């Protein structure tokens, strides 16, 4: 095999990052273990309990239930599945803001629930009036995002909780990306702040674990039991996960990263990433672009398509929001030097673009 993995020095839009060295080491040591079979692989299974306990600490939940999933997609699907299984109606619906990750579309399709997408307000947060107008007696789940994929915004989680409770629905928070930075902010997003039932919170994003390591947390074991199926061939008696064989490397790396970094290492990382995002937002604004204020370490800016394409052609791994803005995620591997080099390329492009075209006469 000749191909090397992607270098990170031009990756500006991914929500994955270089794993912390201790996470990389732990992943390698646990490569051949399967937490899906705790009877055979008890040590990685014990590590998974540690991982869930630590995720609970990060998300303000003392006695959490949950497991290390393949990512935010699986955690979101499973949360919808819990809600659907608990619903008393045969035609349950799920209410989410339009900022919700596309994994909820997959969940709705697989699980046969109706997905009601409501608009966001001018700050890209769930519009509470629209949520109120969309819920009814058949609503099984109200969802909010704590750190949206496109703009890094945090929905008003306590208010969404009140709406969910008013119709006896569950409250799910998608903190897949935001969960490892929000503890260092003033946002109300976690199990202590609101009647959150389930949460997606991914060590393989801002948590600096190896891929795959997503997290599903549930307020009680009873909620997780909604997912349990009997496992007649295994020593354990039931399984709540969506996949069977799972990554022991992901589990071990998540524990190693969290033991190393919670809380001080993550706090320092948040401050560094947030400062970088603000520096970048400022640099783009000074150049006349319209920038969406980075309330978390994620910057979106109205950069023309041709400039975007030229930057991609220079090797920058950047992506666009649904409405076409340039989107840059200030992950741990994104340094100030990288951003300065990116802005340097942008300036060179703009200079060229503003050189008047020579006329014929
Ligand atoms: N919830 C939120 C808020 C997310 O941003 C994402 C991923 C998910 C759930 C799904 O998580 P998994 O991808 O772990 O299942 N959002 C990223 C995105 O769609 C995923 C991604 C990650 C894309 C790395 C590219 C990439 O290089 O932009």
Which pLDDT tens digit goes with each residue over 18-40? 999 999 999 999 999 999 999 99
CA-proximal residue: ligand 1, atom 28 (nearest): 149
Domain range for residue 290? 264-353
At 313, which CATH number?
Answer: 3.90.1150.10
Residues 30 and 132 in one domain: yes
Q: Is the CB of 17 under 6 A from ligand 1?
A: no
Q: Quick one: 302 and 187 in the same domain? A: no
Taking 3-state DSSP, the helix, strand and coil percentages for the chain, each rounded to the nearest 5, stand at 40, 15, 45
Model confidence over 337-356: pLDDT tens digits?
999 999 999 999 977 766 66
Is there a domain that residue 208 lies in?
Answer: yes
Please report whether residue 358 resides in a domain: no
Give Cα 103 to chain centroid, integer Å. 11
Quote the mean pLDDT of the chain: 96
Q: Give residue-wise pLDDT tens across range 175-207.
A: 999 999 999 999 999 999 999 999 999 999 999
Peptide bond into 355 cis (omega under 30): no
CATH number at residue 187: 3.40.640.10
- Residues 145-180 pLDDT 10s: 999 999 999 999 999 999 999 999 999 999 999 999
Residues 177 and 228 in one domain: yes
Separation between Cα atoms, residue 37 and residue 217, nearest integer Å: 20
Assess whether the C-beta atom of 73 lies below 6 angstroms from ligand 1. Answer: yes
Say if 124 falls within a structural domain.
yes
Does 142 score more than 90 pLDDT?
A: yes
Query: How far from 176 is each of 1, 181, 323, CA to CA, in Å?
Result: 33, 11, 22
Domain count, the chain: 2
For ligand 1, atom 14, name the residue with the nearest CA: 71
Residue at which a domain ends, from 261, 287, 319: 261
Ligand 1 contact, 234 CB (< 6 A): no
Lowest mean pLDDT among 3-7, 133-137, 311-315: 3-7
Mean pLDDT, residues 129-140: 98
- The yes-or-no verdict on residue 234 having pLDDT over 90 is no
For a ligand 1 pocket test, name from 11, 72, 79 the mutation site with the most ligand atoms within 8 angstroms of its C-beta: 72
Q: Which atom of ligand 1 is nearest to the CA of 175?
A: 3
357 pLDDT exceeds 70?
no
pTM of the predicted protein model: 0.96
Show which of 235, 261, 287 is a domain's final residue.
Answer: 261
Q: Give 307 Cα–ligand 1 centroid separation in angstroms.
A: 25
Asked whether residue 315 falls in the same domain as residue 191, the answer is no
CA of 33 to the centre of ligand 1 (A): 25
Do residues 63 and 172 share a domain?
A: yes
> Where does the pLDDT of residue 359 fall: very low under 50, low under 70, confident under 90, or very high at 90 and above?
low
Whether the CB of 202 sits within 6 Å of ligand 1:
yes
Residues 208 and 289 in one domain: no
């Amino acid at each position: 095999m000749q191909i090397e993995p992607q270098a990170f020095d031009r990756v500006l839009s991914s929500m994955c990052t270089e794993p912390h060295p201790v996470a990389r080491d732990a992943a390698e040591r646990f490569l051949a273990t399967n937490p899906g079979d705790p009877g055979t692989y008890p040590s990685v299974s014990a590590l998974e309990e540690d991982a869930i306990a630590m995720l609970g600490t990060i998300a303000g939940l003392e006695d959490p239930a949950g497991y290390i999933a393949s990512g935010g997609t699986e955690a979101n699907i499973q949360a919808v599945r819990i809600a659907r299984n608990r619903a008393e109606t045969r035609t349950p619906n799920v209410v989410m803001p339009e900022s919700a990750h596309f994994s909820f579309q997959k969940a709705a399709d697989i699980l046969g629930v109706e997905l009601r997408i409501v608009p966001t307000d001018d700050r890209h947060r769930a519009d509470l009036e629209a949520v109120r107008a969309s819920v009814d007696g058949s609503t099984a789940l109200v969802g909010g995002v704590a750190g949206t994929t496109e703009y890094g915004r945090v929905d008003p989680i306590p208010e969404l909780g009140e709406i969910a409770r008013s119709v006896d629905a569950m409250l799910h928070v998608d903190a897949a990306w935001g969960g490892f930075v929000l503890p260092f902010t003033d946002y109300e997003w976690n199990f202590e702040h609101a009647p959150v039932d389930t949460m997606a919170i991914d060590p393989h994003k801002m948590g600096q674990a190896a891929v795959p390591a997503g997290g599903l947390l549930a307020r009680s074991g009873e909620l997780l039991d909604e997912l349990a199926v009997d496992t007649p061939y295994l020593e354990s008696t039931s399984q709540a996960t969506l996949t069977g064989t799972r990554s022991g490397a992901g589990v071990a790396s998540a524990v190693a990263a969290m033991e190393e970094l919670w809380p001080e290492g993550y706090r320092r990382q948040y401050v560094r990433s947030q400062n970088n995002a603000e520096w970048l937002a400022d640099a783009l604004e000074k150049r006349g672009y319209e920038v969406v204020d980075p309330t978390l370490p994620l910057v979106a800016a109205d950069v023309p398509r041709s400039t975007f394409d030229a930057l991609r052609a220079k090797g920058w791994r950047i992506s666009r929001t649904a409405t076409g803005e340039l989107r840059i995620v200030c992950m741990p591997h994104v340094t100030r030097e990288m951003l300065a080099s990116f802005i340097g390329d942008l300036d060179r492009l703009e200079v060229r673009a503003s050189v008047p075209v020579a006329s014929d006469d």
